[in-house]
Structure 1
Amino acid sequence: MQSHPTPESTTAQRSRRRIAALGAAGLAVLTAAVSLTVPAEAGNTTKPTIVLVHGAWADSTSWDKVTRQLKDDGYSTVTPKLGLNSVAEDVAIVSTALNKISGRKVLVSHSYGGIVTAGASHGRTDVSAFVYAAALVPDEGDSIASLGADFTQSEAFGHLIFTGEPFASPAFIDPAFFHQYFAQDLSKRQAAVLNAAQLPLNFPIVGTPSGPVGWHNIPSWYAVSGEDRMIDPAEERWMAARVGATVVEFPTASHAGGITRLASRFTELIEHAVCSTRTG
């Protein structure tokens, strides 16, 4: 998802652009080097639980293809359903889910889910890896709006249907425009399934600053959706560079395409992350 522009100082904007340029150069190296080949398992063969956190204008069923493949490969999965009412509430939902799971966890997030996993992972020692799909990844103090301030804004924000006061209440993407902006690489039938599962995002979330985050010093992997119309792919690359993620590019993927149409490739990325962080 993306946001309305938020004013920043000229100095801050220039700094962000310099960092983005450096990040893009680094990502080119990472993208060329990474392989989705899953390493041979060694040492501790206990598999972590894969916790998959959905984004805005979606629900946990958006992960169905990925979870099916993970389960076929012997992994346990948990897919919390977010309320999308506030960042704090959603962080609490995921934190509660994590507390109920024993052993190691890998946190996987799509879109706004990255905001949630960043907060829910703070202070934990049982998260071994992060895997992102077209996800927003904040540092402390960042909001969805500030993350997107220097990047191209999504035209989907001109096609929101608010349930109350505009920009102060939960909103849906107009169903007539959902396919065009959220899932343009899927068939009409496939997009209609996702469209029907839309949950409204309480719009004040867009400006809510993140609290302390837990991704520092934990390895991460990031799948960039090259044809994303909700989050600027350049923003995705910048965020991935900032967290030091190993990056793969899905050049033709829409916002939803990386976890649906390309679910097999994204599942491989998750399993690569699991095996790369295996201990013992």
Structure 2
Amino acid sequence: MGKLKRFGVLAAAAVFASAVILPLAASATPMADAGAKPKPTIVLVHGAFAESASWNGVIARLQKKGYPVVAAANPLRSLEGDINYLRQVLAGIHGPIVLVGHSYGGAVISGAAAGNSQVKALAYIAAFAPEKGESALELSNKFPGSTLGPTLNSNPLGDGSNDLSIKPDKFRAQFAADVSRDEAALAAATQRPVRDVALTQKATEAAWHNLPSWFLIPTADKNIPLAAQQFMAERANARDVVEIRGASHSVAVSRPLETADLIIEAAKSVR
């Protein structure tokens, strides 16, 4: 298939770096060595039931390696609206970009990257990579294994749509089983609800057809079935696929070093 597929990674200590409050540095750019080619900006896009600080451990690693980082605040209102918002974020960045999406954020980066010559690579972290005409919900149901539905609270918004969130007492087992109880409780309290429209709206762009992609797949993901993630990575002809055995959907939190390493691999492909 023209791709390198690696199964498993070195075991990592479950260091939950998001307990440390890190600046999300939307505008700070590390100084490049004199004469060195500037590094691409890495834009991180969280998914449903999360928020920007879920990337903190990854950000620390990327910044240590000298990469400028932006952790975008994904609105989680509608796929089209969220894509348009991310496009506005990208418009304020100069130079090459590596776009990274977690979960539903993968659908957002797949749309926002289309037609943007600054975006050079895509990284999907336990994420959706929909084809045109597919929705996140459709992909989640394409293969058995997701147990998300029964864990959700639904809050009517008065316009026929609903905000969805994970019940706090179900959050750790469903979303972050390999994260400490204290940190999972914090994540449950700070989760941002997703409007159901965002999960059912069909994609109109699929930038992974034209851009190189990298996939990180946690094998114990209870939100997006393992088979669905493997299917999307193979369909995209990913440059590299890393499966982290036993990791949960919150793999960027529980395994920030491996997550950052895959993103850095993608960034190093930018010439």
TM-score range, shorter chain: 0.7 to 0.9
Specify whether residues 191 and 174 from structure 1 end up closer, same or farther in structure 2 by C-alpha distance, changes over 3 A only.
Answer: same
Distance in 2 separating the partners of 1:176 and 1:67: 28
Specify whether residues 120 and 84 from structure 1 end up closer, same or farther in structure 2 by C-alpha distance, changes over 3 A only.
Answer: same
* Structure 1 segment 258-273 matched on structure 2, within 5 A: 258-273=251-266
Aligned twin of 2:16: none
Aligned twin of 1:10: none
Give the one of 30, 47, 60 matched to 2:5: 30
Q: Does 1:107 align with 2:99?
A: yes
Distance in 2 separating the partners of 1:180 and 1:53: 23
Specify whether residues 29 and 214 from structure 1 end up closer, same or farther in structure 2 by C-alpha distance, changes over 3 A only.
Answer: closer
> In structure 2, the residue corresponding to 1:170 is in which secondary structure?
strand
Aligned residue pairs, count: 245
Greater per-residue strand proportion: 2
Distance in 2 separating the partners of 1:156 and 1:215: 26
Partner letter of residue 204 of structure 1? Answer: V
Aligned twin of 2:248: 254
Q: Cα deviations across residues 197-244 of structure 1 (Å, max 9, x unaligned)?
A: 111111122221111222212111101110001110111110011111
Distance in 1 separating the partners of 2:255 and 2:226: 17
Q: Cα deviations across residues 50-70 of structure 1 (Å, max 9, x unaligned)?
A: 000000011111101101111
Aligned twin of 2:226: 233
TM-score (norm 2): 0.85
TM-score (norm 1): 0.82
Aligned-pair distance for 1:154?
A: 2.3
Aligned twin of 1:197: 190
Give the one of 143, 155, 161 matched to 2:153: 161
Distance in 1 separating the partners of 2:69 and 2:49: 21
Give the one of 30, 46, 55 matched to 1:63: 55
Aligned-pair distance for 1:165?
A: 6.9
> In structure 2, the residue corresponding to 1:163 is in which secondary structure?
strand
Aligned twin of 1:223: 216
Aligned-pair distance for 1:153?
A: 4.7
Aligned-pair distance for 1:147?
A: 1.5
Aligned twin of 1:7: none
Give the conservation status (yes or no) of the 8 Å contact 2:7–2:244: no
Give the conservation status (yes or no) of the 8 Å contact 1:228–1:255: yes
Give the one of 125, 129, 143 matched to 1:137: 129
Give the conservation status (yes or no) of the 8 Å contact 2:161–2:195: yes
Could you list the runs of 5+ residues in structure 1 that have no partner in the other structure? 1-25, 36-42
Give the one of 107, 116, 129 matched to 1:124: 116
Could you list the runs of 5+ residues in structure 2 that have no partner in the other structure? 11-34
Aligned twin of 1:179: 172
> In structure 2, the residue corresponding to 1:215 is in which secondary structure?
helix
Specify whether residues 33 and 250 from structure 1 end up closer, same or farther in structure 2 by C-alpha distance, changes over 3 A only.
Answer: closer
Greater per-residue helix proportion: 1
Distance in 1 separating the partners of 2:50 and 2:114: 24
> In structure 2, the residue corresponding to 1:78 is in which secondary structure?
strand
Specify whether residues 139 and 65 from structure 1 end up closer, same or farther in structure 2 by C-alpha distance, changes over 3 A only.
Answer: same
Moved more, 158-167 or 130-139: 158-167
Aligned-pair distance for 1:150?
A: 2.6
Distance in 1 separating the partners of 2:88 and 2:4: 38
Distance in 2 separating the partners of 1:66 and 1:203: 28
Distance in 2 separating the partners of 1:27 and 1:146: 27
Partner letter of residue 121 of structure 2? Answer: A
Specify whether residues 63 and 247 from structure 1 end up closer, same or farther in structure 2 by C-alpha distance, changes over 3 A only.
Answer: same
Specify whether residues 153 and 206 from structure 1 end up closer, same or farther in structure 2 by C-alpha distance, changes over 3 A only.
Answer: farther
